[in-house]
Amino acid sequence: MSIAIISPGRDVSSWVKTFNKADPTVDIQIFPDIGDKESVELVILWQHPKGILKEFPNLKLICSMGAGVDHILSDPEIPLTLPITRIVDPGLTVPMTNYVVMATLNYQRQLYRYQSNQKKKIWDMSNPELDLQVGVMGVGALGGDVIEKLKMLGFSVFGYGNSPKSSTDYPYFYGDELPQFLNNVNLIICMLPLTPSTENILNLDFFRKCKKGTYIINVARGSHLVEDDLVTAIGEGIISGAFLDVFRKEPLPQEHPFWNSDKITVTPHIASVTNPNSAIPQIIENYKRIKSKKKLLNQINPILGY
């Protein structure tokens, strides 16, 4: 058994160490130093060079290094006849929910206004809390947990997704019901999977359908957001500001306007980071399952994109 980890520019030493601890018999090859491509039966990918998988003639399984698979499906030469899996881990859910709750509370309690007032030595006790109706776009495992925790804190929460749900304990909209969803909320948290239908969804047309002064939190993918349109919407007063952890180009370029905006908070894609100790047992188990022709854990539908 040989596994190739293909994640250019990323330190994967902790992954190799964890693999060796979990199963010392596994042969691990690290891109770009993959000497025996014919022996590779499983690849673990994050931002791989497009087209590289055709170099592995005996590949049986493609694994994402994280919860998202858009970086895999964006490769036009990906062999869709092969199963693709992602990581599903409570260790990803807890930090993601904590991050989103933090961003929501910081905005609701106007921490940024008070930080600015402190620098100006202004003592202003007026309107200490904002009245928020929170909308979560994407209510899978991660989004569902965010909704649950925000409801526990007393927020009015609404959900939006691509498909209907049989029952929810919160108002839920889907598909063409986006305008109704937007009419109910003034803080939007984007947690959608990145698919052809959701790419660039946070654009100027979208913002102009929002309630005036709506706030945006994006922890999904940078390609959900048309960044210039956000700058325009903030400038026009349509959107009050944003809390962003993901960007179209990472690291965020030094000349990017987000750095200097007092309406936008930037964090370096740290809302939730995959833990090898949780991810690798799933990967090894799936390799065993594909050998024995059993149903895989966390296999995605490449047509749906998640």
- 109 as an active site residue: the answer is no
* CB contact at 8 A, 257 and 233: no
d(CA 60, CA 65): 16
Q: Please, where are the H alpha helices in 109-160? A: 111-120, 141-152
* CB contact at 8 A, 46 and 7: yes
Catalytically annotated residue among 221, 224, 248, 256? 221
d(CA 206, CA 275): 35
The tokens describing 33, both together, are 């130093």
Helix (H) or strand (E) holding 101: helix 90-108
Catalytically annotated residue among 208, 256, 269, 289? 269
SS3 at position 255: coil
- 221 as an active site residue: the answer is yes
**Catalytic positions, please?**
221, 269
